[in-house]
Chains A and B, each alone.
Chain A
Amino acid sequence: MFKLLQLFLRMSGFFLFLLLETICLVLVVRYNQRQNAIYTYTANEVSGFLQKVGSDAYEYLELKERNDSLAKVNAHLLNVLANEKMVASANTGIDTAYTSGLLPQYTFIEAKVIKNSINRFHNYLVLNKGRRDGIVPHSGVVTGQGVAGIVRNVSNSTSVVMSILHQQTRISARIKGKGFFGSLMWKGSDARIFNLKDIPKHAPVVRGDTIETSGYSGIFPESIMLGVVNKVWMEPGSNYYNIEVQSSTDMSNISYVYVVNNIFRTEAEQLEQAVLKEDE
């Protein structure tokens, strides 16, 4: 304590200097027009700069929340869009189709990808939402670019998705505007190259055709973009085309996905099962 006091006394000249110099500068800025103008200008520049830095940093911290809210908005828009399409198609038929069209067939739940792989034969995604959030197995998973996979297992708060980069994933696909449908599967090497099977040889498919979901499986709504035809050829003696498709989804770069819930699917499946049983 005494040492501190001594130090303070020894430094008293310095403190007095600082005090008086500060007073002087305040006086300079206060009572001299030119210096005041320079001071005001500089202070504005500096405070503006600091404010900008601060708000930039704050925005950066806020990014995660913004992403979440944007994903929510996207899911909502997808809901509106998918059901809009259905209502529109229902409208082309008779009036009674309207009643079912008014119920939203597909709902979308946004989820964040917490694990992803693309370099194996069987690739999976893990999402941060599960049963509690309304995700059920065998639901489709889409991104803004296209299809990402199919939900395989669901726990309370996470779900595992069979990626489209999985050798056993089959997606019911059709050629946009031409109607022929087949199934799309991964070739197993390049993450963007897929095979489209079961397109009959009389179909007028050419390079550049767009491939989209057919909606037949009930897993995905119809006309979600899958990719573009890259190459078309036919094995001798075969009745079906070999079609190579460049997928629209870049699976190596996805962070938010939307899980598709088809509320009519159980109903449709039960009906189908009943018919199959009858036939046996």
Chain B
Amino acid sequence: MNSIITANAWRFFLLIIVQGLVLQNIGAGWERFPYLHIILFPIFILLLPLRTPRALVILLGFIMGLVVDSFYNSMGVHASAAVFTAFIRSYLLNWIEPRGGYNVNYSPTAARMGAGWFFKYSAILMALHLVIYFLVEAFNFENIGTTLLNILVSFIFSMICLFIYQVIFNPVD
């Protein structure tokens, strides 16, 4: 029990540091191709234990989003996407529940649920997160083409980073 909390706490800080100090700078100065934004921190929301109360998931998402925003100097933009992702997580978990149901003591990780299930789960949540993030970031529908391009490119590269994270840490809980 304690180890789960510790693991998540470490993941929280690690992801914030990686997101805020490393990933923020990738693609930042590319004038010709301003569509690349790697967003990795939602992994924290994805990997929260299954029995985390729904309200706590949303609250943690909010806090994490605000901290990331303080790095990006974009108060509220990441937070609104993170709150949405955290909110939609429980619905998605119900929707893609495996045949045998969940073991409530587990976390929704590749090690516990299988690589195929985890890919589906993370791809859907990551895509939704990026859609909300870029919509709030653009804040209008006039340049919807640019927004869609942002979402697509960023989704592909964020998923690649998610795989790298998975390969490096292979988190169980």
Contacts and interface: CB of A to CB of B under 8 A. Distances in A.
Interface of A: 12-14, 16-17, 20-21, 23-32, 34-35, 38-39, 42
A20 B76 contact: no
Give the bracket for the number of chain B residues in contact with chain A.
20 to 34
Where chain A touches its partner, the secondary structure class is: helix
B75 interface: yes
Contact of A16 (B59, B139, B140): B59
Q: Tell me whether chain B's interface is mostly helix, strand or loop, or mixed.
A: helix
Interface of B: 54-55, 58-59, 62, 65, 69, 74-77, 79-80, 83-84, 86-87, 90, 136, 139-140
A21 B84 contact: yes
B62 A20 contact: yes
Given A17-B87, A38-B140, A39-B139, A24 B80 contact: yes
A248 to B, nearest CB: 56
A12 B77 CA distance: 23
A20 B83 contact: yes
Nearest to A18: B87
Given A28-B139, A38-B139, A38-B140, A16 B76 contact: no
Given A16-B58, A28-B77, A34-B139, 12 more contacts: A13-B58, A14-B87, A16-B59, A21-B80, A21-B83, A23-B76, A24-B79, A27-B76, A28-B80, A31-B74, A35-B77, A42-B140
B75 A28 contact: yes
A44 B118 CA distance: 45
Nearest to A28: B76
A12 B59 CA distance: 12
Contacts of A27: 69, 75-76, 79
8 contacts: A14-B87, A16-B59, A17-B84, A20-B59, A24-B136, A25-B76, A31-B76, A35-B136
